[in-house]
Structure 1
Amino acid sequence: MIWRSWDLNLKVRLFGELITHTFFWMYFPFMAIYFSDTFGKDVAGLLLMVPPLLGMLSNLFGGYLADRVGRRFTMLLSLCTSTVMFALFAFSPSPWIDYIAFIGIGIAGALYWPASSAMVADLTTEDDRRIVFATFYTAMNIGVVAGPVLGSVFFVHYRPQLLMFCTLVELLFAITVFFLIKETLPEHVRQEKAKERFSLIQQFQSYAIIFRDKAFALYIGAGILIAIGFMQLDIYMALYVKEHVMQQALFSWGNWTYSVGGTSAFGWLMALNGFLVVLFTLPVTRWFENWSDRNSLVISSILFGVGLFLMAFTTNIWLLFGCMAILTFGELMRTPVAQSFISKYSPEDARGQYMGASSLQFSIGRFIAPLTIGLSQWLAPVGVFSVVLGLTLVSAYLYIILFRMIGAEEASKSS
């Protein structure tokens, strides 16, 4: 799909999400370290489980709103909420207010993504969705290149000023969405939904119907396991690098040496992840566009788990870069396929809700993932990373079962 032929909605959101994600990655990767230093590891592990739990409900509610009142309204509600929460974070007088603001930002983000993904699906054809989703994923991850490196300076030394800039960026994006983005919820769907009485009971009944779809429930289960592994980049891997990767030379020239270690080494690892995503998302998507969804999801789960597991055996920054390259390649294979799979699988009149339900895999994964912080009190790094590898391998096996089930259902329908 040629960029010039894109709808204005997609172009505006592509640039807006690129900028907001740059600022997001300047603070988010350091929150596990910040709360661990402030409250202690055990308390931080428990505290970090709460935002994803609330995010699960927000995902479901965001999908419901996206299908009932529209994608645009839901996105505006999210951006206005995040603006207020970033302002609260910026002027916070205590770590507990920081934590409340962090929860609020997570809730706002969980509201946004079902509507955002549904809008992309509304405006693209099935053939173009992998490339469009891959382009959005690339834009989101441009911020991952510079964000962690800049955040290792600005979040530590200039946190209030950084958060004030985040507030301003969210506010400007909300204004842009208000004036330039048009609603994409199909009119006939909106008219049908308008006849229904708004009810939380009805909302959860509609989701109950979705989760009775065995294939979709299995997809969510596999996604939760891989999400637990993916979230370790910001949780256990952050602590592992901080505690075990000592100061060492990253570059040297004659008598000049640039050293990294601890938090700065983590920032460089996350920057490499983002750099590889930016450079290779679209090429990898094109290389594997003829691969089946099944093979892409299975291989990506295995690569991601293996890349994380190998980190347990080294503290050398360049070997850690190699591990990050392996797991990032798995990430690049998975993301566009996972997003386009739900677009194909979901019916048009429930697309937002399916997107919201699909987002649960990340919310539940984020809810469970901080347990590795507590687990690290009892296990050596190789033990913790072995547990994560086991989860990703089980995820790969569940994807195999899922596509066997889908194939059997399609065969029975055709017969």
Structure 2
Amino acid sequence: MAWLRSFWAGLPIEGRWLLAVVAVQTLGRGLTLPFTVIYLREVRGFELSVAGALMSLVAVAGFVITAPSGWLVDRYGARSVLLGGQSAMMIGSALLAFATDPWTAALALTLIGLNFGAALPAFNTLIAAVVDGDVRQRFFGIHFALMNVGIGAGGVVGGLFVDVDVPATFTTVYLAEAGAALVPIAVLLGPLRAVREHAGRAMGPRPATSGYRAILRQPAARWLAALTFTGVLVGYGQFQVGIPSYAREVAGASTDAIGIAYAVNTTMIVALQLPVLSRISGRRRVMIVMAGAWAGAWLLLGAAGLGPGTLVATAGLLAFMAVFAFGETLLQPTVPAITNDLATDDARGRYNAVNAAAFNGGAIAAPAVAGLLLGLDVAAAYVGLMVAGCLAVCAMALALERRIPPSANGVSPSNRLERGSFS
């Protein structure tokens, strides 16, 4: 694609290194991501309730560290925070490889969660330091596609390699994940060691208005945080509990079908992200299209529950994942770009931290909501709530649009009236 070649040719060398880091890092993460609960339960022999509580530590630790991470990014630079996070990730993965008791596993998963909480505001800030404008939106989209490629490929390799009857196979993949964390550390200490200066940090004392309270007094920041929280609640947050539980217990889908459905989601993201990026450049109201696509996807999943155990149910599940993937390709290049277009250089880390906290909050709330409604056997109410949440995202996107400048909404003066867009 001509625009992709143009994007790559015009990308600073630091941007290319960042994309390489994403590819390696997510490949290592994919080796273990689908199998940690299985490892804790079937290899280390922890009770299911203990394993579930341990898994929650990742999200809780990430949420707790998000606000301090934003402050640290603005005080010491994104690169320093990323180095700390990757070090925690490396130590946590290595510990988990040998975690024969719950306390060691708890420490390991907490360290991994600290990295996740620090990585989102720090990495997004680092991207903003390297690229801007339309290139930034495209970068976030390609970054998301690479994440899915890496996690998907890592999951396939890990699935073929690990064996619950051979604990050493799990030890190997967790050590491999720890080793993968060394790559970002090496790049941050080497080719990216001067990136901090690219962010324009030599600006003298920061104004007192750049704290979290001042950011959250801005209507645009509040609407964007609310939109992110709701989007995760009805979107990504449902992938670990809500969607597989509905597919299995309500739609009666086989485990094979569920596995294929998740593969369909990843494949569609990889296939669609680049074409979508070429269409949304300079267009507005992309998030409204995303929310509409997700609402339609949830209706497809609801239809799958009307014929449990049938081919129709499986088809509905696969269609849900495909349509949902299309919405994901619209969301990922948009929200991080808007966040960084609104942010000032002296508070960019905290702007990204607010968005990361909203994301992590949605990720914590989503399993609880799904577990409550599906546990009460009110599947229709569950699907209805998800659809209503998608419609709420549409309303929030419209409210946000009225409170941000056109440039932050991806609209340049030359194409505000362009036809054939998603608006």
TM bracket, shorter-chain basis: 0.7 to 0.9
1:285 equivalent to 2:291? Answer no
For 1:240, give the aligned amino acid: Y
- Determine the structure 2 residue equivalent to 1:9: 14
My pick for the range that moved more, 374-383 or 160-169, is 374-383
- Determine the structure 1 residue equivalent to 2:175: 164
Tell me, yes or no, if the aligned pair for 1:32 and 1:44 is still in contact at 8 Å: yes
The alpha carbon displacement at 1:92 in A equals: 0.4
1:24 equivalent to 2:24? Answer no
Tell me, yes or no, if the aligned pair for 1:70 and 1:184 is still in contact at 8 Å: no
Structure 1 CA distance for aligned equivalents of residues 107 and 41 of structure 2: 16
The alpha carbon displacement at 1:31 in A equals: 4.7
Structure 2 CA distance for aligned equivalents of residues 309 and 270 of structure 1: 18
> What whole-Å deviation, never above 9, does each CA across 1:229-252 have from its counterpart, x for those lacking one?
2211122223334556667xxxxx
The alpha carbon displacement at 1:24 in A equals: 1.7
1:119 equivalent to 2:126? Answer yes
Q: Kindly tell me: are residues 398 and 404 of structure 1, through their superposed partners in 2, closer, same or farther at Cα, counting changes over 3 Å?
A: same
> What whole-Å deviation, never above 9, does each CA across 1:257-288 have from its counterpart, x for those lacking one?
xxxx31x4333222221211112112101112
Q: 2:105 aligns with which of 98, 105, 113?
A: 98
Q: Kindly tell me: are residues 290 and 6 of structure 1, through their superposed partners in 2, closer, same or farther at Cα, counting changes over 3 Å?
A: closer
Structure 2 CA distance for aligned equivalents of residues 186 and 365 of structure 1: 33
1:326 equivalent to 2:323? Answer yes
Q: Kindly tell me: are residues 124 and 296 of structure 1, through their superposed partners in 2, closer, same or farther at Cα, counting changes over 3 Å?
A: same
Tell me, yes or no, if the aligned pair for 1:26 and 1:155 is still in contact at 8 Å: no
Q: 2:135 aligns with which of 120, 128, 141?
A: 128
Structure 2 CA distance for aligned equivalents of residues 172 and 94 of structure 1: 29
Q: Kindly tell me: are residues 169 and 175 of structure 1, through their superposed partners in 2, closer, same or farther at Cα, counting changes over 3 Å?
A: same
Structure 1 CA distance for aligned equivalents of residues 196 and 190 of structure 2: 17
Tell me, yes or no, if the aligned pair for 1:49 and 1:370 is still in contact at 8 Å: no
Structure 1 CA distance for aligned equivalents of residues 282 and 352 of structure 2: 24
> What whole-Å deviation, never above 9, does each CA across 1:125-151 have from its counterpart, x for those lacking one?
313211121111111111243344444
Structure 1 CA distance for aligned equivalents of residues 389 and 355 of structure 2: 19
> What whole-Å deviation, never above 9, does each CA across 1:86-120 have from its counterpart, x for those lacking one?
01111100345334422321211221221211121
Structure 2 CA distance for aligned equivalents of residues 387 and 36 of structure 1: 32
Q: Kindly tell me: are residues 187 and 323 of structure 1, through their superposed partners in 2, closer, same or farther at Cα, counting changes over 3 Å?
A: closer
Tell me, yes or no, if the aligned pair for 1:62 and 1:110 is still in contact at 8 Å: yes
Structure 1 CA distance for aligned equivalents of residues 397 and 199 of structure 2: 35
- Determine the structure 2 residue equivalent to 1:274: 266
Structure 2 CA distance for aligned equivalents of residues 369 and 11 of structure 1: 34
My pick for the range that moved more, 316-325 or 130-139, is 316-325
- Determine the structure 2 residue equivalent to 1:178: 189
1:231 equivalent to 2:237? Answer yes
Q: Kindly tell me: are residues 5 and 370 of structure 1, through their superposed partners in 2, closer, same or farther at Cα, counting changes over 3 Å?
A: same
Tell me, yes or no, if the aligned pair for 1:64 and 1:353 is still in contact at 8 Å: yes
Q: Kindly tell me: are residues 90 and 49 of structure 1, through their superposed partners in 2, closer, same or farther at Cα, counting changes over 3 Å?
A: closer
Work out the number of aligned pairs and report it: 385
Q: Kindly tell me: are residues 241 and 150 of structure 1, through their superposed partners in 2, closer, same or farther at Cα, counting changes over 3 Å?
A: farther
Structure 1 CA distance for aligned equivalents of residues 227 and 212 of structure 2: 18
Tell me, yes or no, if the aligned pair for 2:7 and 2:135 is still in contact at 8 Å: no
For 1:361, give the aligned amino acid: A
- Determine the structure 2 residue equivalent to 1:254: none
Q: Kindly tell me: are residues 321 and 79 of structure 1, through their superposed partners in 2, closer, same or farther at Cα, counting changes over 3 Å?
A: same
Q: How does 1:207-226 map to 2 (within 5 A)?
A: 207-226=212-231
For 1:90, give the aligned amino acid: A
Q: Kindly tell me: are residues 390 and 154 of structure 1, through their superposed partners in 2, closer, same or farther at Cα, counting changes over 3 Å?
A: farther
Structure 1 CA distance for aligned equivalents of residues 328 and 22 of structure 2: 19
> What whole-Å deviation, never above 9, does each CA across 1:349-382 have from its counterpart, x for those lacking one?
2112211211122111111112022432113433
Tell me: higher relative CO, structure 1 or 2? Use CA pairs within 8 A at least 6 residues apart. 1
1:398 equivalent to 2:396? Answer yes
- Determine the structure 2 residue equivalent to 1:378: 376
For 2:397, give the aligned amino acid: Y
1:143 equivalent to 2:150? Answer yes
Structure 1 CA distance for aligned equivalents of residues 160 and 18 of structure 2: 28
Structure 2 CA distance for aligned equivalents of residues 61 and 155 of structure 1: 36
Structure 2 CA distance for aligned equivalents of residues 39 and 53 of structure 1: 20
> What whole-Å deviation, never above 9, does each CA across 1:160-180 have from its counterpart, x for those lacking one?
221111111112331232122
Q: Any unmatched runs of 5+ in structure 2? A: 1-5, 409-423
**Under a length normalisation based on structure 2, what TM-score does the superposition of the two structures give?**
0.81
Q: Any unmatched runs of 5+ in structure 1? A: 197-201, 248-260, 411-415
1:313 equivalent to 2:303? Answer yes
For 1:60, give the aligned amino acid: A
My pick for the range that moved more, 165-174 or 148-157, is 148-157
Structure 2 CA distance for aligned equivalents of residues 330 and 188 of structure 1: 31
- Determine the structure 2 residue equivalent to 1:339: 336
- Determine the structure 2 residue equivalent to 1:55: 62
For 2:294, give the aligned amino acid: F
The alpha carbon displacement at 1:311 in A equals: 1.8
> What whole-Å deviation, never above 9, does each CA across 1:320-374 have from its counterpart, x for those lacking one?
2211111111111111011211121111221122112111221111111120224
For 2:319, give the aligned amino acid: G
Structure 1 CA distance for aligned equivalents of residues 60 and 273 of structure 2: 30
Across the aligned residues of Structure 1 and Structure 2, the Cα RMSD in angstroms comes to 3.0
Tell me, yes or no, if the aligned pair for 2:134 and 2:282 is still in contact at 8 Å: no
**Under a length normalisation based on structure 1, what TM-score does the superposition of the two structures give?**
0.83
Structure 2 CA distance for aligned equivalents of residues 381 and 26 of structure 1: 32
> What whole-Å deviation, never above 9, does each CA across 1:44-69 have from its counterpart, x for those lacking one?
76665553333223222222222211
Indicate the SS of the match to 2:25.
helix
- Determine the structure 1 residue equivalent to 2:421: none
Indicate the SS of the match to 1:336.
coil
Indicate the SS of the match to 2:387.
helix
Structure 1 CA distance for aligned equivalents of residues 186 and 375 of structure 2: 46
> What whole-Å deviation, never above 9, does each CA across 1:159-209 have from its counterpart, x for those lacking one?
22211111111123312321221333347954457x68xxxxx99x81111
